[in-house]
Homo-oligomer: A and B are copies of this chain.
Amino acid sequence: MAIILGDHQYGKAENRIVRIVRDTPRHEIRDVNVSTCLRGRFDAAHLTGDQGEVLPTDTQKQTSYAYAKTVGLASLERYAHALAVHFVDDVEPVDQARVELEEFAWERVSVGGAEHDFSWVRSGREVRTVAVTVDADGSAWITGGLKDLVVLKSSGSEFHGFLEDEYTVLEPTSDRIMATSLVAKWRFGAVDVATFDFDAAYAAITTAMVETFASFHSLALQQTLFQMGKTAIEAVPELVEVRLSAPNKHHFAYDLARFGIENHNEVFHADDRPYGLIQASVTVEGAPDAGPAWDQYSGLV
């Protein structure tokens, strides 16, 4: 029985890069957490300890910071793509590179109603994610996403007519709180990396999903998720797939009848664990193969 090396990858995770553009008195800011990952011919490093084919993770870090200046972060996707292309093209043993990043959003401080030139408050809403994978032949797979988008509706959500067995004690309901902390990822089909407006796409996708969550009358979280994915694709036709993972953050109407107090879905206990966890993908029929688009590295994206 031979024991052999299987898949392997390595890189530098969580480079915390803040990029300021200060060419004018009105600065711009991009705040990202970048992870780079190389895939290729690194067998010797594992089998014999020979590092001759291994570009150090420290070098990948330096490159990430250098590209934050030379390429810039005006477009997250173009930055990630340029970095991945560099590793594939310029580092001989690399067959495929993947760059993942999280973006933390900042809002300009308003002072007396006017936007300040160089002061921001962190918005703290969802975290935007990007992953770009590039092959030796130049093929690229681009995904976007978000996480920690916490939404809640206090009406317009039902759950009944479900399958029952001997362990079923849940009561059906025609009015409940529905809340989740959404993780979404989406895959672009053929887009021109150099010119596509990814920021506009992000805004359109996020708006579509939040508006659908709010206005779609829900018979189950599953149904809401499918609708959210569907309206996202309709909003941005370059998308070929949306993947959604949604914890059902349970809010239990608190039993106050014991104390002679009526509670018509007004006071809830927000429970931590356990939680329902619903996951679904929504795709365009005949979507191109995903290739390595979803092959994660850091676990953050």
Interface residues of chain A, those whose CB is within 8 Å of chain B, are 1-22, 27, 29, 31, 35, 37, 42, 45-59, 61-63, 65-66, 68-70, 90-93, 106, 109-112, 116-126, 148-156, 159-170, 177, 210-211, 213-215, 218-220, 222-223, 225-226, 229-230, 233-234, 237, 241, 243, 247-248, 251, 254, 256, 258-259, 261-285, 297-299
Contacts and interface: CB of A to CB of B under 8 A. Distances in A.
A265 B35 CA distance: 22
A112 B207 CA distance: 9
Q: SS class of chain A's interface: helix, strand, loop or mixed? A: mixed
B283 A112 contact: no
Chain B CB count within 10 A is highest, among A16, A49, A109, for: A49
Chain B CB count within 10 A is highest, among A4, A248, A251, for: A4
B119 A214 contact: yes
Contact of A56 (B170, B218, B233): B170
Contact of A21 (B37, B219, B266): B266
A151 B65 contact: no
A38 to B, nearest CB: 10
